[in-house]
Structure 1
């Protein structure tokens, strides 16, 4: 076994013969099966922020993270290769970015500030080591500016890449914002993009990814208005969630949890800016941009309800109203049953 120097310690490299003279040269050509677990961790750790709330970082059996509120918001999510991403489209950095954002958005949707992530990776032997380093870089690029620590996790071998993330957050004295608090008369509001990620995926599926790099980027590396979650809680939001599976599907979750109906405004008025941005891609593909807005997932905007007599906090915009429960669908669009081909992403029917 030869060893190459790396920040955080020497990295053992399996295999005979003299190797390149730099770590970059070595890792550019290594596969996961060429290194042992300690070597892979030594390459990953330098890319991961600790966060100022972390008192015991990775290296022991568990990390220790401060919980000033006394309560901890916890959520978990997974990304499965060829189910949630494809390696021929997505770099390790793309997947790390997405894995962080989708979990941090769930914390924000409770009205909390994210504090830390724990990440588990299943890696096949033929996965390039630099893809794994890219995953760590993507996690760090999202988390470091937010002072969110990536404080540990697990590594395992397997046939496909699986990234599982558990996120923690701090409510800072706030009551958590649940899905079950919407009341008739409330305003329905949304913060963030709608339909961009679905359009980017459609472009990639059609082999037209080069026709709109901005929409493809929105799919590969979604953004979320994370600061809007605590801001909505402070403004009296009665219900809130991360729109990960499509506007209609997730609006229905609020409606059913709260025992109400949600009547969304017509997309042409509520999401005019998004539709304008999507129209070129829709024309290229012969698609309906309104479908992307109503049913497209993975934009990770926030959907919330607020009392009608108060101002909406930025960047929320009004997109509907809450009605009494009644006969018919849980979610209406412009007062009518949605005339769409589907309601959004379902992990077991997609």
Structure 2
């Protein structure tokens, strides 16, 4: 049991790494590099990296260190799943102030282990370094089994159904609740809806294997809702040179979002359209809707005369529409 007041500078590199390995045990961790077995024939490797910076991507005033670890894995594994692949391993690099407690680092690693375990994935290595700011970099590794192509942004075709798996707008609502009340403790404990939405922001949960299921069912393109529904679907529209026409009834804010909007004075539609960080899988398919997904719209051609710009004119540019028109909110998250 480590002392709560022990800092990473006091502990030193070896003890800090040991604390991480104890919190996230793996027989593959501890050497100069991890050696991973290929478990499926004709498989390909899939890799993705995400960076989380304290005060920009997370705040310990709102989130527990363990939840930060969970969130880091969720967003990285969502990218792997969006390719139709199965996450297999995680690499963690932490740049940390010397006065950060060793317990905080261990709890972040514990959250990573907890979130990776449902996939039978493990934290297999990484690095630690002293820094002015706390920065967490997570590299997710995955496996794409079999000869079927990966799910990419450029696979959408005219006539495809647009599909989604998971909540939309919950994370943005949770952040708005936290910002409104100022701290986790100030949120009414007798309001389970507000508590649930905050949990979705602090420690989002990604259902296991949804991306693999979609690929097996014949999905054609996929991404995840990390930067906002309109912004992320816009990547598919741009790369596939199509318009995605979303049905408002299929994405309308549910009673939980409407309740939260009333409590904090927010706009539930803005959360749905631009919120991001739900890591809902979004894609298109020209076959049946995969298990765990819902149809939310159609892919249309650039000449279908449903795409209208803000001046009411038709456009032949790739776009994401809602009920055939430009949505009110489009911004989404900007990293830079």
Contact 2:96 2:130 in 1 (8 A): yes
1:311 Cα offset (Å):
2.1
| Contact 2:302/2:318 (<8 A) preserved | no
Q: Does residue 234 in structure 1 map to residue 216 in structure 2?
A: yes
Find the structure with the greater CA-based Rg. Answer: 1
The correspondence of residues 238-277 of structure 1 with structure 2, limited to 5 A, is 238-266=220-248, 269-272=249-252, 274-277=253-256
- Gaps spanning 5+ residues in structure 2: where? 189-193, 304-314
Equivalent position of 2:174 in the other structure = 200
How far apart in 2 are the matches of 1:250 and 1:302?
10
**Gaps in structure 1 of 5+ consecutive residues:** 1-22, 51-55
- 1:170 to partner: Cα distance: 0.9
Q: CA deviation at 1:171?
A: 1.1
Count of aligned pairs between the two proteins: 313
Aligned-residue offset at 1:70: 4.0
The equivalent of 1:125 in structure 2 is: 98
- Partner residue, 1:99: 72
CA contact (8 A) 1:200 1:216 kept: yes
TM-fit CA distance, 1:145: 2.5
**Of the candidates 173, 176, 194, which is equivalent to residue 150 of structure 2?**
176
The residue aligned with 1:335 is 324
Shift of residue 275, structure 1, vs aligned partner: 2.2
**Aligned to 1:280, what secondary structure does the other structure show?**
helix
CA RMSD of aligned residues (A): 1.4
Stretch of structure 1 that moved more, 326-335 or 76-85:
326-335
Given the two structures, how large is their TM-score scaled by the length of structure 2? 0.90
The question of whether the paired residues in 1 share the 8 Å contact of 2:164 and 2:283 is answered with: yes
- Contact 2:237-2:318 at 8 Å conserved across structures: no
1:64 to 29, 35, 45: 35
Question: What is the SS of the residue equivalent to 2:325?
Answer: coil
Deviation per CA, 1:151-209: give whole Å up to 9, x if none.
Answer: 00000111111110111111111321111010010000100110000001011111264
CA displacement 1:301-330 (0-9 Å, x = unmatched): 0001000xx321121101110011242561
Question: CA–CA distance in 1 between the matches of 2:21 and 2:137?
Answer: 17
Runs of 4+ in 1 over 6 A off after TM superposition: none
User: 1:201 & 1:49 partners in 2: Cα distance?
Assistant: 32
